[in-house]
């Protein structure tokens, strides 16, 4: 018997108010819940972008940052990042997962009305292995120099997820991704402190 994946529901201040099945939480009235985003770089500073599987309920087939997901109840986001790197991208650990944007949150609505509504800390991960994407999660991947990625987004050549667009407004001012300063853990949502 398969156990349904659970997401942590949050109040507006970031405190846990329960859980819900991931399979049922995303709809026109998606409640605020806990998530994470991660940005993977190799030792040459190239950034890994991923195209979401066409079967995903939210933003199928859209290019986005390297890996996203939801911490399970009681799971730290860093552990959730490592778990999803294995599940989505076939990248075995251990992973060096570094908090960059502790307080990122967003709400986005798809054309069909489905909503994403997340408190979503952002992490940087340095990897040395090549991904082996799980086709149920990831349609395809590309390694790009950070500057080329930003240029393709700026010119509209690359259409990316709404959360990635919003994250870039905070990440770009930080400069070289390999030099990003770690975020302050005290700024994480209370559920993670």
State how far Cα 173 lies from the chain centre.
19
β 33-34/115-119 pair status: parallel
Q: Which of 118, 120, 137, 164 is catalytic?
A: 118
Tokens 């905070």, residue located: 170
Q: Which of 68, 88, 116, 137 is catalytic?
A: 68
The yes-or-no answer on residue 187 being catalytic is no
C-alpha pair distances (Å), 106 with each of 42, 48, 56, 88, 118: 27, 22, 19, 22, 6
The yes-or-no answer on residue 116 being catalytic is no
| DSSP, residue by residue, 154-172 | HHTSS-B-HHHHHHHHHHG
Q: Active-site residues: which are they?
A: 68, 118
């Amino acid at each position: 018997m398969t156990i349904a994946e659970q997401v942590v529901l949050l109040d507006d201040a970031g405190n846990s108010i329960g859980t819900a099945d991931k399979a049922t939480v995303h709809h026109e009235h998606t409640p605020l819940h806990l998530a994470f985003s991660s940005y993977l770089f190799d030792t040459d500073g190239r950034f890994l972008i991923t195209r979401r599987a066409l079967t995903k309920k939210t933003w199928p087939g859209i290019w986005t940052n390297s890996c996203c997901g939801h911490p399970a109840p009681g799971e730290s986001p860093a552990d959730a990042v490592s778990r999803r790197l294995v599940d989505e991208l076939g990248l075995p650990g251990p992973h060096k997962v570094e908090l960059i944007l502790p307080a990122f949150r967003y709400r986005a609505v798809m054309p069909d009305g489905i909503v994403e509504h997340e408190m979503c800390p952002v992490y940087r991960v340095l990897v040395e292995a090549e991904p082996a994407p799980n086709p149920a999660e990831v349609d395809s991947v590309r390694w790009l120099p950070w500057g080329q990625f930003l240029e393709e987004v700026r010119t509209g050549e690359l259409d990316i997820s709404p959360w990635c667009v919003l994250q870039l407004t905070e990440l770009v001012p930080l400069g070289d991704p390999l030099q990003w300063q770690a975020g302050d853990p005290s700024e994480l949502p209370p559920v993670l402190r």
